[in-house]
Structure 1
Amino acid sequence: MDVSESTNKKSNSHTGFLWLATFIAAMGSLLFGYDTGIVNGSLEFMAVKGQLDLTAFQQGIVSSGLTLGAAFGAIIGGPFADKIGRKKILTILGIIFSVGALGCAFATNITILIVFRFILGLAVGSASANVPVYIAEIAPTELRGKMVTTAQVMIVSGQFVAFGVNAALTPLGAQNAAIWRWMLGLGTIPGIILWIGMYLIPESPRWLVSQGKMDKALGVLRRIRSAASVESEMKEIQDKDKADKELNAEQATFKELISKRWVVQILITGAMLGIIQQFAGINSIMYYGGKIIQESGFDTTVAAILNAGNGFLSIVGAVLGMFTIDWLGRRKLEFAGLTICGITLVSAGVIHTVAPNASWAGITIVVLVYLYIIFFQGTLGPVTWLINSEIFPQRYRGIGTGITIFVLWIGNFIVGLLSPVLLEWNMSNTFYIFAVCCVLGIIFVALRVPETKGVPLEEIEKYFRTKYDK
């Protein structure tokens, strides 16, 4: 065996190990998707008399209790990980996901169920903040984009798995309405994989350097990099850590943030993008898609099967978004997404209003929902997160994005809470309400959101300073 062949084998070994670490950490993202999506099929059985006998509003509370927890988990998860380490926080999250799933499965009343859903939400929110960070910190520069994007793909994959579980178990619910306990309890499996798997993979070398643990960081780099690049990357990490510590010594406070008009305008822009994303209606469909499909004329079992298509097409849309976001630009994708989502929502609403009993109506509404999901997951889904990461100057980025992510999750909570009530009231009107929000979103983006594709971060800051610092 010559030297080059030996080097290539070692390089492939390092890459394979990195992908294993990425997959294990991304179990947190898969659980994010699973725990938000599994209520789609399980709520119907919880509502049965003799089970939890939930009203429409109580169904909204059970569903949105998780997203309320996620809002707070996103805020506290990052700082907590900075103190104890990325590996340790993800290990703890694996335990919380496992215990939370079991707690939901064995809940004897709605109060216990809501408590454990909220606990799961804390884990979901923390995972949404920490999984991409961990992956970004272990990935080599040339693979960072693909590896970090794995987290987003795993979120929608988790929802697809949840919908698949619902489709497989729903037929059993005719004989045993308690099948919802199995639906929720199966979330324990990926939780255990995350929990145990984190013992097999290393701590982030960047976090170790930030804690002054240079020897351990060097040891990790030797496991995940080729020997030729270890020393140079170690120096790069140390230099970056030194620069970050100098910068963080002067990080902005909330008081300073709200004292500067142009920074407040950035905060409003980022927060409103999160509200627009949520009030375009995506999670009304992802959480209650089975109910929507049943309302379109399908029985419970067929609705569960068709609803699994929502999860699969979410993956398709997310992958398409990966390849178009740097090609078409942020504003174009926002406009396209809001426009097409609005049109599909109005079309579905009109069909349900004027021809609810037509033989073609039900399947047409399902197709429109599928189109909505593909375009949303390829546009509004990823673009909102990306723009928020670009518009804040470095000094305000940590506190600013923390606030905007919190607002986004609160928007998610409101949509999840009210959707069952709105759908029970009138499905068509619910679609029209979300369509109006899409139109308002188009107006907001046209007036307030700059194109950030290919624009240096300093120029983005200059745009907001020039426009609002008067």
Structure 2
Amino acid sequence: MSNTVPTPALARTAGHVRGWKATIAVAMSNYIEAGSIIALATSLTLWQEYFGFSNWVVGLVAALSANAFGAAVGAMIGGPLGDRYGRKFIYTYDLILYMLGTLLVVFAAQAWMLVLGVILTGIAVGAGVPVAWTYIAEQAPGAKRARHVGTAQLAWSLGPAVVFAIATALVPLGLLGSRLIFAHLFVVAFITWWVRRGLAESDIWVEQKKVRDDAAARGEAVAHRGLKELLSRRQNVTALLFLIGVYGLWNMVAGQMGIFMPRVYETAGVASAASQNLLQVLLWTMTVAATYFGFMLLGDKVDRRLLYGIGAVLGLAAWVLLVFAHVTTPLLIAFAVLWGVSAGIGAQAFYALWTAEMFATPYRATAQGVLFFAARILVGVLSYVFPTLLAARGVPFVGMIMIGFLLVALVIGVIGAPDTRGKSLEQIEKERYGSAV
């Protein structure tokens, strides 16, 4: 029996949800993740007043959320399990945990209910998002992989745009409005979970599993799928370091913006919660537009190194403007536009694409989990001190830290961008490893 991995077209696994419908259903993990972060961001001040939290406690809640430690723990659980038992396995359970967490937040009458709900939602999205990027890339045609992976980025952008718009409309309701936002996320999660029940398993994963099972049945040594196998190859270690440099550093900035940007606007002089939210609606609307017209339409056609570089430069320019120019309303609008476009064609979209391309199928989801874990741990550490630093030192001080992260991520991404455009995952695997893994 040949050990050659069959093409995905020959591996039609059971499940009636396929193609773009499957891509969208899986991509909703990103809507839910980003929506959770923004729902917490727009309500942190209200929860702080309701429960009497200090800034340090606010930082701790943010650090335990889907924005940081909660997602990190989930990623280290979901990634390896996705490689061992299949991508669909994760989708059977992750949103059930998520729905439980959102219900705890919706009905939180005591601080422990809020904290536990935040942690559970974080673990759930951490388990689901890395496997989502893996699944979408594996099922996408090689010539349209950026377009399909970009759908996850589009969902990630829509989440904040929609949640900030809802938050703006519900400002008069105070904390009740925030509870309603989490209730909307529960409804979206339930619908997504219902659709996902018909998902087909990843064709590539099924074929890889068959090859490994056949080899084991013949008595051949088969390496265990997981972290040890991932770290046993030099190609994987260098790819991990490259992607941490690209995504981990960029996400240090994006993570603080996702959860604390309303506080940054407030520190910069925008006192109205409605005005803060409208700026964020503008920012995320620009991200949605840039994701579709930039990454999804161009990512399979133009030089990806150039596209990544443009996005990284725009993000850097946004923070330079915020730190060194006099803060006015037009400047904040310019900041929102620059960062919004940058986020649409920047580090996270390319990270989702490159991570799927740079690792072999047996440990692709594990690699996603490790990288997501590392990125969210870094965000969590900074989140714990960020609100205090912002209050004590102001926007210029924290802004210089953000600029430093973005500059390094720009250099690493432009220098190390892989040449993978238009190639199948099998072809990339053979080029990187010398043969099919």
Contact 1:98–1:188 under 8 Å retained in 2: yes
| Structure 2 partner of 1:312 | 285
Cα displacement string for residues 52-72 of structure 1 (whole angstroms, at most 9, x for unaligned residues): 222223222222312312112
| Structure 1 partner of 2:5 | none
Q: Which of 382, 387, 401 is the equivalent residue of 2:349?
A: 382
In the TM superposition, residue 87 of structure 1 has moved relative to its aligned partner by: 4.9
Inter-partner Cα distance in structure 1 for 2:234 and 2:20: 44
Inter-partner Cα distance in structure 1 for 2:245 and 2:357: 15
1:295 is the counterpart of 2:292: no
Q: How many residues align?
A: 406
In the TM superposition, residue 396 of structure 1 has moved relative to its aligned partner by: 6.2
Contact 1:100–1:117 under 8 Å retained in 2: yes
In the TM superposition, residue 435 of structure 1 has moved relative to its aligned partner by: 0.8
Contact 1:277–1:384 under 8 Å retained in 2: no
Contact 1:27–1:193 under 8 Å retained in 2: no
In the TM superposition, residue 167 of structure 1 has moved relative to its aligned partner by: 0.8
In the TM superposition, residue 245 of structure 1 has moved relative to its aligned partner by: 4.5
Contact 1:104–1:117 under 8 Å retained in 2: yes
1:126 is the counterpart of 2:94: no
The answer to which of 85-94 and 371-380 deviates more is 85-94
Within 5 Å, which residues of 2 pair with 1:125-144?
125-134=126-135
Cα displacement string for residues 121-147 of structure 1 (whole angstroms, at most 9, x for unaligned residues): 111012203334555677788887655
Inter-partner Cα distance in structure 1 for 2:242 and 2:199: 38
Local SS of the residue matching 1:38: helix
Distance 1:262 1:94, change over 3 A: closer
Contact 2:248–2:378 under 8 Å retained in 1: yes
After superposition, the CA RMSD in angstroms is 3.5
1:434 is the counterpart of 2:398: no
In the TM superposition, residue 81 of structure 1 has moved relative to its aligned partner by: 4.7
TM-score by length of 2: 0.79
Distance 1:183 1:58, change over 3 A: farther
The answer to which of 292-301 and 255-264 deviates more is 255-264
1:344 is the counterpart of 2:345: no
Inter-partner Cα distance in structure 2 for 1:310 and 1:258: 38
| Structure 1 partner of 2:151 | 150
| Structure 2 partner of 1:185 | 183
In the TM superposition, residue 86 of structure 1 has moved relative to its aligned partner by: 4.9
Cα displacement string for residues 155-177 of structure 1 (whole angstroms, at most 9, x for unaligned residues): 2212222111211111332xxx4
Q: Which of 256, 259, 265 is the equivalent residue of 1:284?
A: 256
Inter-partner Cα distance in structure 1 for 2:234 and 2:143: 38
User: Percent of aligned positions with the same letter in both sequences?
Assistant: 22
In the TM superposition, residue 424 of structure 1 has moved relative to its aligned partner by: 1.8
Local SS of the residue matching 2:51: coil
Inter-partner Cα distance in structure 1 for 2:115 and 2:193: 23
Inter-partner Cα distance in structure 1 for 2:215 and 2:297: 33
The answer to which of 260-269 and 122-131 deviates more is 260-269
In the TM superposition, residue 31 of structure 1 has moved relative to its aligned partner by: 1.1
In the TM superposition, residue 106 of structure 1 has moved relative to its aligned partner by: 2.0
Cα displacement string for residues 232-276 of structure 1 (whole angstroms, at most 9, x for unaligned residues): xxxxxx6x6534556892357755665665653333223222322
| Structure 2 partner of 1:117 | 118
**AA at the equivalent of 1:196:** W
Distance 1:373 1:461, change over 3 A: farther
Inter-partner Cα distance in structure 2 for 1:451 and 1:205: 24
1:204 is the counterpart of 2:201: yes
Inter-partner Cα distance in structure 2 for 1:154 and 1:362: 28
Local SS of the residue matching 1:47: helix
Distance 1:99 1:262, change over 3 A: closer
Inter-partner Cα distance in structure 1 for 2:363 and 2:249: 22
Contact 2:161–2:284 under 8 Å retained in 1: yes
Cα displacement string for residues 378-404 of structure 1 (whole angstroms, at most 9, x for unaligned residues): 122211222333334667655544422
Within 5 Å, which residues of 2 pair with 1:52-67?
52-66=51-65, 67=68
Inter-partner Cα distance in structure 2 for 1:140 and 1:264: 27
Contact 2:79–2:365 under 8 Å retained in 1: no
1:372 is the counterpart of 2:339: yes
Inter-partner Cα distance in structure 2 for 1:388 and 1:241: 20
Inter-partner Cα distance in structure 2 for 1:102 and 1:440: 40
Contact 1:75–1:402 under 8 Å retained in 2: yes
